[in-house]
Amino acid sequence: MESAGALTYIALPKDSEQLIPHLLDKCREQQVKIDHDAAAALIERVNGNPRMIMNELDKLITYVMNEKNRLIDYECVNSMVPPYGEGNFFELADAFYTLNLESTLRCVRKHFFSNKDARGVLGNLQSRNRLLIQLRTLHDGGWIDLRRGSLSKDSLGSAAAEYALWFSDVNAKADTHPFGQNPFYLSRLAKIAVRLTLKTLIDFQLAFIETFVRIIDHPNDQEQIIQQLVLDCLGRPSIERQP
């Protein structure tokens, strides 16, 4: 254990899945509950940084201590924990996939208030969209059912076995395929992928690529270029969505 002022920090393992039991134990000590989705969201929000995890957890515990149910849930984490480090790009990507034009444009302005480079934002959007395309393809092909809200391990395993030839290791955690992803993260992606057609997701990916080229050509106009990307993708009269 490591002390810092009045707080004591547990030496946490770096693997995200192994962090969750430590969060549950910490909350149990304080007679507070945290659900699994909230614990996973907290780790993602602060980009797996152990010290920040414990800092934010102390804040969340204090917040719910006087609540009737004394529960830290996903909404609590999402509203109270700011993104950290590389996680700064998550907020804009999260807003984009709500498909809400105004809130996404607000996030663009917020991002560029303290950042000048859009490459991290684009990288996050492309990485997330790549997984969404694959999930939507697996759904349309009958391998998985996104309408359930959570993905069946058996169905995903069958799909992984079928397509293992195309990936170096389907069991490894990588942003190139969904098979080694955190189950919590996949369940979040599934809720997005089920709402959009494969054509829309491919159109998004092509727009991201074109935007990257524009940023290389016009590095001093990055905010305007990202604003135009959002308008092009989300400002159309009708985005193809699944009913």
Extract the tokens encoding 218. 């016009």
Whole-model pTM: value is: 0.67
Reported as a pLDDT band with limits 50, 70 and 90, residue 8 is very low
**Residues 84, 52 contacting (CB under 8 angstroms):** yes
* Record: fold of 87-234: Zinc Finger, Delta Prime; domain 3 (1.20.272)
Instruction: Classify residue 175 as left (phi > 0), alpha (psi -120 to 50) or beta.
Output: alpha
Distance, C-alpha 91 to centroid of its chain: 8
pLDDT, residue 169, reads 74
3-state SS assignment for residue 185: helix
What is the location of CATH 1.20.272.10 in the chain?
Answer: 87-234
What is the location of CATH 1.10.8.60 in the chain?
Answer: 2-82
- Give the span between the Cα atoms of 215 and 198, in whole angstroms: 26
pLDDT, residue 4, reads 35
Q: What is the mean pLDDT of the chain?
A: 83
Farthest-apart Cα atoms in the chain, separation:
55
DSSP 164: G
CATH of domain 2-82: 1.10.8.60
DSSP 242: -
